[in-house]
Amino acid sequence: MKKNWKIILIIFCCLFCWFGKKPLYQFLWGEYTGRQIEIGEEKFERFPENQPWDKAQIGGYDIEYVLRRKYSVKGRVVFVDWNDGVIKTWYHSAGRKNVKLYNAVASVDLSIIHGETAQDNNWKKIKFDHEERGLLWSYKYADNPIVNNHEINNNHVIPANLAIKKAIAILKVGDIVEIEGYLMDWKGTGKFSQFNIETAKEPGDIHEKILYGGRPGAGLCRQFYVTKITFDGYTFE
């Protein structure tokens, strides 16, 4: 009898984690606004180029940062990949001592598409995958989807607070969201002072140097400090 109760309890916990986490997180960390987001475009607001660098502690590390753009996008989620766990950090590190810093600061990759690429009758024709903090995509030639590279973005997200983390934790592929915040360059301090990360600031920005086995001309990811997320009628900030 006790064994049966244990099985029932395990099944209940699994079902709660699968179905119950979203309403719980919405109640605890979100605010009901009733807003339903539609697929839209990106918005960029420039900051002066001579912005001063500021200091912060994120994920237990002291960093310096400078804001480059105020940024928002109304788009569709195609991948969520967390990077701040022990296993992920070990897997990514491979002798790269700065990975712990990077994974602690930009703890999750959130891949978003927008515009025509994200429309209902188009995006499911594209297969998205994520590896080594980069977004990959492919499709069957016969399906002939619209694929605009400027509408496909991989964001290395720096959550502003716990509410933002919880919002991302309940996002799933296909969700339509509005995400707001800032694109920023940042760098480590102390023994990590040689670690400098540049954000993409405009559509089509590419790497000027090769990092960690990447290829020249690869798309530059956004270093996205996220302060607000709205989806399914709730806002987290």
- Which of these ranges, 31-35, 87-91, 185-189, 204-208, has the smallest mean pLDDT? 87-91
pTM of the model: 0.87
Model confidence over 98-156: pLDDT tens digits?
A: 888 999 999 999 999 999 999 999 999 999 998 878 899 999 988 999 999 999 999 99
Helix (H, G, I), strand (E, B) or coil at 40: coil
Model confidence over 12-46: pLDDT tens digits?
A: 555 555 568 999 999 999 999 999 999 999 999 99
Q: Which residue has the tokens 């800032």?
A: 182
Identify the DSSP state of 98.
T
Instruction: Give the C-alpha separation, 160 to 45, whole Å.
Output: 19
Instruction: Give the C-alpha separation, 18 to 230, whole Å.
Output: 21
pLDDT at 132: 78
pLDDT at 212: 47
H helix intervals, 109-205? 162-169
pLDDT at 235: 98
Whether the pLDDT of residue 90 is over 70: the answer is no
pLDDT at 156: 96
Which helix or strand (DSSP H or E) is residue 109 part of? strand 108-113
Whether the pLDDT of residue 54 is over 90: the answer is yes
Residue 18, phi then psi, degrees to nearest 5: -80, -45
pLDDT at 161: 97
Structural tokens at position 23: 């309403």
H helix intervals, 52-137? 86-93, 99-105
